Structure 1
């Protein structure tokens, strides 16, 4: 082989795939589809990995054998497992999640009735966490840059670490005791009134807000020492422009990944919060379904939670690419 052929330049990409955004979209879509397939397969195997007969467990030990056999045949559990898997995939594409063994209602109907309440709680909790964390993190970054405000930094760091490590459930219990039981200011169950949203949203948002604000402060301190910020100051730009127009977008780019992880955790964290505040969402439904051994409902809710986490992570990847296109180009 000649030297010229060994060092021949690579053939450049041509066509639609030559555009970096197209390649980025194809990669992300491929990862999402593979992750969805793994999630769907795991949710399908859930019922088959349960010890014993899930139909017998749901109907109870006194259920007639004929009824158990009829339910198994109705659910297709007597078919070969590959046939069951194929039917499960087909049913998902048509929106058929099965039928509840307890209420005899379509599982898709149960999920559609409970999902909005869970989404409300998770989205409101995330928005409150961001609304508190961003200005607090920016303010602490400005006050503690270049070694200033040692006491302020120590108090903020200590408080954020403590709040960030306390489980959401314990924060919720404390909020219920103080504002619901002792003071009687706010309701502690249901979502019938706007005031009923306050305690569960705060219980879900306080920990993530503490974590995110600490990360934003660290990123803000680093960005404020960057050359482009010094240049902006040298031009005598207003402080609001320097902090909010130049420093904040760069600090948030590094914090966005953590924010996405926190949102994913908040989606899963709604399970405990919903049960604490008797919130009529998927979290309280999955717990009652587990206790009642209604595995069709459990299977569907686990799938919904998993899809939600995957979509959040994908949205964060896209947002990062929009804010910092260099991260997209580095993947090539």
Structure 2
């Protein structure tokens, strides 16, 4: 029975992943065809000669029938060929390869920082406010986290730059270099996520602390640290993992605006510059990378939840 449930779970998740990938690839292909006007003319500028525009359209295969272009696009993707930049002439794969580490490091550190802030504060507030105690602390914490979570990442980044970068000059405000350059962009991405996760951890922890097995553990005179960390916390993290995984996908996409605030040389900065310069092959490639990243994150979250709580996840209808 268990093997069959795992098999059905794997088939469902694989099927969803394949369908989502097909939708993503098709949408990225249609992107260049949905742009009003001639994308090649827009990329080369109005002063480009007709012969140059025609030659570039021919080299990109834009004169072929749509179904043939789609077939060539799929074939090139399977061989790792994402095309060439219209502006620099460099392979799109090389552009992405140069920029991806900067975005991955920024998003990864922001996620770790958010979890490191959310779990201790959520657990601490749950312990302090359990059973309706310290209402003032609960109200202050919830209100503050709601306000912080509603501030857009890029707007928070602008505020951090103004205060800590310009007025106090405590951290660099642009570029990627040493450790100090990570502080402000990581905080811009992490604080809002930490506020949301912290509230979820607190709510789940309060619920778990009222469970019968926790009361039994207290009756056995177990140490408070053992009760909170070994018995309560693991059971309170299921919902947190779900939301954290979903928000990690949003966090990856959220790097686009934050990277432009801090002139961070990642994919987010590159895609905005490519949109401004009408460099559609680069835009297509980066959209694919972001989309695949979000799909893979969701898959990892599904598998993690299945391992932590197989009854509710694997046996879903």
Same fold? TM cut 0.5: yes
1:137 and 1:278 map into 2 onto residues whose CA distance is 33
Task: For residues 168-214 of structure 1, give each alpha carbon's deviation from its aligned partner in whole angstroms, at most 9, with x where no partner exists.
Answer: 11111111111110111110111111100000000110000011101
What are the within-5 Å matches in structure 2 for residues 1-332 of structure 1? 18-332=3-317
| Alpha-carbon shift at residue 21 of structure 1 (Å) | 1.9
| Alpha-carbon shift at residue 328 of structure 1 (Å) | 2.9
| Alpha-carbon shift at residue 27 of structure 1 (Å) | 1.4
Deviates more, 1:253-262 or 1:40-49: 253-262
| Alpha-carbon shift at residue 299 of structure 1 (Å) | 0.9
Task: For residues 267-292 of structure 1, give each alpha carbon's deviation from its aligned partner in whole angstroms, at most 9, with x where no partner exists.
Answer: 01101110000100000000010110
What's the TM-score, normalizing by structure 2? 0.98
| Alpha-carbon shift at residue 229 of structure 1 (Å) | 1.3
Q: How many residues align?
A: 317
Q: What SS does the corresponding residue of 2:252 show, helix, strand or coil?
A: helix
What runs of 5+ residues in structure 1 fail to find an aligned partner?
Answer: 1-12
Deviates more, 1:255-264 or 1:129-138: 255-264
Instruction: Tell whether the 8 Å contact from 1:169 to 1:273 is kept in structure 2 after alignment.
Output: yes
1:18 and 1:224 map into 2 onto residues whose CA distance is 33
Deviates more, 1:113-122 or 1:246-255: 246-255
1:18 and 1:210 map into 2 onto residues whose CA distance is 39
Instruction: Tell whether the 8 Å contact from 2:5 to 2:315 is kept in structure 1 after alignment.
Output: no
Instruction: Tell whether the 8 Å contact from 2:173 to 2:184 is kept in structure 1 after alignment.
Output: yes
Relative distance call for 1:80 and 1:25 in structure 2 (3 A) is: same
Q: What SS does the corresponding residue of 1:278 show, helix, strand or coil?
A: coil
Runs of 4+ in 1 over 3 A off after TM superposition: none
1:329 and 1:232 map into 2 onto residues whose CA distance is 30
Instruction: Tell whether the 8 Å contact from 1:186 to 1:199 is kept in structure 2 after alignment.
Output: yes
| Alpha-carbon shift at residue 18 of structure 1 (Å) | 4.8
2:60 and 2:312 map into 1 onto residues whose CA distance is 47
2:6 and 2:108 map into 1 onto residues whose CA distance is 28
Instruction: Tell whether the 8 Å contact from 1:20 to 1:328 is kept in structure 2 after alignment.
Output: no
Q: What SS does the corresponding residue of 2:237 show, helix, strand or coil?
A: helix
**Structure of greater Rg:** 1
2:187 and 2:253 map into 1 onto residues whose CA distance is 16
Q: CA RMSD for the aligned pairs?
A: 1.2
